[in-house]
Amino acid sequence: MHLSWSLFISFLLFSCLIYSQENKQIQFKLLGQDDEMSFLSEKESKSVYEKLKWIDLKNNNSLSFGGSYRFQAESFINENFNHQGAQDNIWYLNRILLHALFKINQKFDAYIELSSSTAIGKTNVSPVDKDLLAVNQAFAAYYFNSNWSLLLGRENLGFGSRRLVDVREGPNVRRSFDLARIDYKNETTKLTTFFAIPVKNKEGAFDNDYVKSSETFSGVYLSKNFHKYINFDIYGFYQKDDDVTYAIGTADERRYTFGGRYFGSYKNVTFNNEAAYQLGLFGNNKINAYTLSLNAEYATKFIGDKTTIGLKTELISGDKNRNDNRLNTFDALYPRGAYFGRVARFGPSNLIDIHPYINTIYSKYYVAIDYDVFWRYSKNDGVYDAALFLQYPSTNTSAFIGHQIGTVTGFNFTNHLNIELETNIIIPGNFLKQNGATASLFHSVLTAEYKF
């Protein structure tokens, strides 16, 4: 614990020193390969940091480096919705990402990113908590022209609003795929077709397999932007997975997902609506499942520099009848690990939720407050966790799961350094109480991340 805090403080001091010497205009993105630093190619006088960040190899060739360090201190009270056992469970998560990008004449990219994710003080370590040393991404991309490209290798994958396919940034270990993908893009259109194999994370050093799994994921994703308030995504996915467990049992699954998204903004209103339907086979059972998500928010200056007031609601189907040879439980495929906040107690299957929220920004500070209320879509199906494993079986006829109240308070010191505190409290409803989960759960996580 003392070593973890020492590393954390050292990184804070180091970040402040480096920041005083480097250019402030580099824009860091979620994925390192998307960092925006093109202005360095034309800048004549570069700082020491900029010279290390981006190296001109002449003839439109370049080599760039970067990465991030993230520290998290996480704690629960009544972690399993009961008062049993010690309640002073606090652990520390550390994640380091280091990457290099080699670009040749705007025709070829070679990218590699190593990751190290560790957990200190946590008793039950999961695959999303610890991966001592791994190749998180390693791919080569060839650009046939300004429109078409081919990518082969290992990559973090995300589409659209990332409700169904996400990088999984919340947990300590990101999600990777070994894949082949072809992309087309112009000013208003982006089309991606791919075939991928999810990487199964292991705890050791360089022990994750390459292109070795019974699970596959493939599909097509089309984005079309007509106007700032008329934008559409249309997609079709196919997932093959063996030995999957739902409330009705365990079997091999072959699932197709077809969906669409309509999003944009009009004056001060932003909206993001999405629907998806699933069919296929789960053993001898036919799959018929769906989800509908509606989200609208209004921007004003009620508090601070900008205030956003929003409302989101989701309908996510669950299995209606265990004996009708049909599976109605929606599978969210590869969603965010923190789908309903970093507390991550409920996953996007068999749920109805209503989620009002308010966010405000003042200078470099931001605060978000949200309230979420959950019901079971079907009383014959259970409640699933963030990894889509059945957590609470359907042992009673109550639909109400509970209330969740969350806050996020953060401060952006620079575009390199951010500190954020998130808290959540979940008050059990009748369904959880009748499953023996009677105590309110409290969760907090302090996150500090430095990008370079």
Question: Two tokens at 373?
Answer: 């209320």
Angle at the Cα of 129 (from 128 to 132), degrees rounded to 5? 105
Tell me how far apart the alpha carbons of residues 99 and 81 are, in angstroms, rounded to a whole number: 40
- What is the DSSP code (8-state) at residue 193? E
- One-letter identity of residue 280: G
Residue entry with tokens 């309903």: 340
3-state secondary structure (DSSP) of residue 346: coil
Give the pTM.
Answer: 0.91
> What is the pLDDT at residue 25?
78
- Residue 138: C-alpha distances to residues 106, 113, 141, 153, 154 (Å): 18, 6, 10, 6, 5
CB atoms under 10 Å from CB of 304, counted, come to 14
Tell me how far apart the alpha carbons of residues 288 and 284 are, in angstroms, rounded to a whole number: 13
Angle at the Cα of 237 (from 233 to 239), degrees rounded to 5? 155
- One-letter identity of residue 245: T
Tell me how far apart the alpha carbons of residues 418 and 173 are, in angstroms, rounded to a whole number: 19
> What is the pLDDT at residue 114?
98
Q: Categorise residue 121: left if φ over 0, alpha if ψ from -120 to 50, beta otherwise.
A: left
Tell me how far apart the alpha carbons of residues 382 and 404 are, in angstroms, rounded to a whole number: 18
> What is the pLDDT at residue 123?
87
CB atoms under 10 Å from CB of 355, counted, come to 18
Q: Is 348 exposed, middle or buried (0-12, 13-18, 19+ CB in 10 A)?
A: buried
Question: Structural domains in the chain?
Answer: 2-451 (2.40.160.100)
Tell me how far apart the alpha carbons of residues 200 and 356 are, in angstroms, rounded to a whole number: 35
Residue entry with tokens 């360089």: 206
> What is the pLDDT at residue 45?
87
Contact 147, 187 (CB under 8 A): no
> What is the pLDDT at residue 394?
93
Tell me how far apart the alpha carbons of residues 118 and 191 are, in angstroms, rounded to a whole number: 36
> What is the pLDDT at residue 19?
46
Torsion 337-343-347-353 (CA) sign: negative
Contact 139, 14 (CB under 8 A): no
Compute, in degrees rounded to 10, the torsion defined by CA atoms 38, 17, 368, 440: 130
Question: Two tokens at 41?
Answer: 């190619």
Per the DSSP assignment, residues forming a β-bridge with 102 are 63, 110
> What is the pLDDT at residue 179?
97
What is the residue-level pLDDT of the chain in tens, covering all 452 positions?
Answer: 445 445 555 554 554 455 444 445 799 999 999 999 988 888 888 889 998 999 999 888 999 999 999 999 999 999 889 877 665 689 999 999 999 999 999 899 999 999 999 999 998 899 999 999 999 999 999 999 999 999 999 999 999 999 999 999 999 999 999 999 999 999 999 999 999 999 999 999 999 988 878 899 999 999 999 887 889 999 999 999 999 999 899 999 999 999 999 999 999 999 999 999 999 999 999 999 999 999 999 999 888 899 999 999 999 999 999 889 999 999 999 998 888 989 989 999 999 999 999 999 999 999 999 999 999 999 999 999 988 899 999 999 999 999 999 999 999 999 999 999 999 999 999 999 999 999 999 999 999 999 99
Can you give 239-258 as a three-state secondary structure string? EEEEEEEECCEEEEEEEEEE
3-state secondary structure (DSSP) of residue 5: helix
Tell me how far apart the alpha carbons of residues 362 and 336 are, in angstroms, rounded to a whole number: 27
> What is the pLDDT at residue 2?
46
> What is the pLDDT at residue 21?
47
